[in-house]
C-alpha cells in the first residue's frame, strides 16, 4: 500500500510498489513505475517514462525524467531508469534519453547531492557520488565509485573511470582514467592515483604498487600512445591495473593530463624519490 499525501497529484496509470511514500505537492505522471519502499519528499516530480527500483529517496524539489535538453526535440523521447537504494537530494535533475529508443541509466547505491544534474543518455554505475552543483553532460559515462566534487562540469561524451576522484570546480573535457585523482579549480590536471580511495576500498599494497607502475607507463615515460597500449596489454593483464588498457583503448576524446612541476619553479624538493613524494601526497589526501 502506498502512502500518498492528499495534496500530491498521482496519475492513476502510474505503478506504485509496496510502502511507497509520496509527500506534499509531489507530481507523479503516467508511465511511471516506482518500486517498493521509495520515498518522495515534498514538491518532487517524477515524469513519464521513468522507472525507479526499490528503496530510493527523492529530495524536495527534485525532478526525474524530464525530456532531454536538446535543440531537436523528440516525441515522446527516451526513458530514465533508476536502480535501487539511491539517495537523490534536493533540486537534483535527471533527464531521460533523447531519442525515442534511448535511455539514461543510473545504477545502485549512489548519492546525488543538492542541485546535481544528470543529462540525457548518461550512464552512471554503482556507489558514485555527485556533490552539490555537479553537472554531468549528455552521453557521459561514470563508472563505479566515481566521485565528482562540488561545482564540477563534465562535458558531454566524457568518461570518468572507476574510483576516480574529481576535485571541486574542475572542468572535465576529456576522459579521466580509473583510479585517478584530478585537481579541481583552474588546473583540472591529474595529480596521481586516488590512493586513499584505493585503500579504503580494500586494495592491497601489491595491487596499488601495480597501479603505480602502470601509471608511470601512461604518464611518466614519454612513450607513443601505441607503445603505452602495447605495454599495458602485455605487462598489466591481471588485477586492477588491467583496467587501464580496457579503458584507454576506447578513448575518443583524449585523456586528462598529469600536472608536472615546472622547471622554473622556485621551490623544489631535492633528494626525494617518487615513493617519498607519494607518501607526502598520501598524508595530504588524508588530511
- Which of the following is catalytic: 138, 150, 151, 161? 138
- Which of the following is catalytic: 117, 120, 139, 141? 120
Is position 121 annotated as part of the catalytic site?
yes
Q: CA-CA distance, 38 to 2, in Å (whole number)?
A: 10
Strands across the sheet containing 57-58: 3-4, 21-22, 39-40, 57-58, 87-88, 111-112, 129-130, 147-148, 165-166, 180-182, 190-193
- Which of the following is catalytic: 83, 95, 119, 121? 121
Is position 138 annotated as part of the catalytic site?
yes
Is position 120 annotated as part of the catalytic site?
yes
State the helix-helix crossing angle for 205-219 and 225-235, rounded to 10 degrees. 160
The residues carrying an active-site annotation are: 120-121, 138
Amino acid at each position: 500500500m502506498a502512502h500518498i499525501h492528499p495534496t500530491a497529484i498521482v496519475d492513476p496509470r502510474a505503478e506504485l510498489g509496496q510502502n511507497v511514500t509520496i509527500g506534499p505537492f509531489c507530481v507523479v505522471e503516467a508511465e511511471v513505475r516506482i518500486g517498493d519502499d521509495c520515498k518522495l519528499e515534498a514538491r518532487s516530480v517524477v515524469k513519464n517514462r521513468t522507472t525507479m527500483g526499490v528503496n530510493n529517496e527523492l529530495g524536495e524539489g527534485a525532478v526525474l525524467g524530464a525530456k532531454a535538453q536538446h535543440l531537436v526535440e523528440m516525441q515522446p523521447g527516451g526513458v530514465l531508469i533508476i536502480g535501487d537504494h539511491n539517495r537523490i537530494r534536493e533540486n537534483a535533475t535527471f533527464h531521460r534519453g533523447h531519442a525515442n529508443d534511448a535511455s539514461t541509466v543510473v545504477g545502485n547505491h549512489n548519492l546525488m547531492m543538492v542541485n546535481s544534474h544528470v543529462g540525457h543518455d548518461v550512464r552512471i554505475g554503482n556507489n558514485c557520488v555527485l556533490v552539490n552543483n555537479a553537472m554531468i553532460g549528455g552521453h557521459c559515462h561514470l563508472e563505479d565509485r566515481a566521485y565528482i566534487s562540488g561545482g564540477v562540469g563534465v562535458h558531454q561524451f566524457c568518461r570518468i573511470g572507476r574510483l576516480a576522484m574529481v576535485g571541486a570546480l574542475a572542468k572535465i573535457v576529456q576522459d579521466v582514467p580509473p583510479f585517478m585523482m584530478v585537481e579541481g579549480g583552474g588546473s583540472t590536471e591529474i595529480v596521481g592515483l586516488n590512493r586513499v580511495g584505493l585503500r579504503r576500498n580494500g586494495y592491497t599494497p601489491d595491487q596499488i604498487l601495480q597501479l603505480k607502475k602502470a601509471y608511470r607507463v601512461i604518464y611518466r615515460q614519454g612513450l607513443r600512445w601505441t607503445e603505452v597500449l602495447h605495454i599495458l596489454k602485455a605487462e598489466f593483464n591481471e588485477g586492477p591495473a588491467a583496467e587501464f588498457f580496457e579503458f584507454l583503448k576506447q578513448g575518443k576524446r583524449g585523456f586528462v593530463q598529469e600536472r608536472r612541476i615546472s622547471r622554473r619553479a622556485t621551490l623544489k624538493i631535492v633528494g626525494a624519490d617518487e615513493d617519498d613524494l607519494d607518501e607526502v601526497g598520501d598524508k595530504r589526501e588524508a588530511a
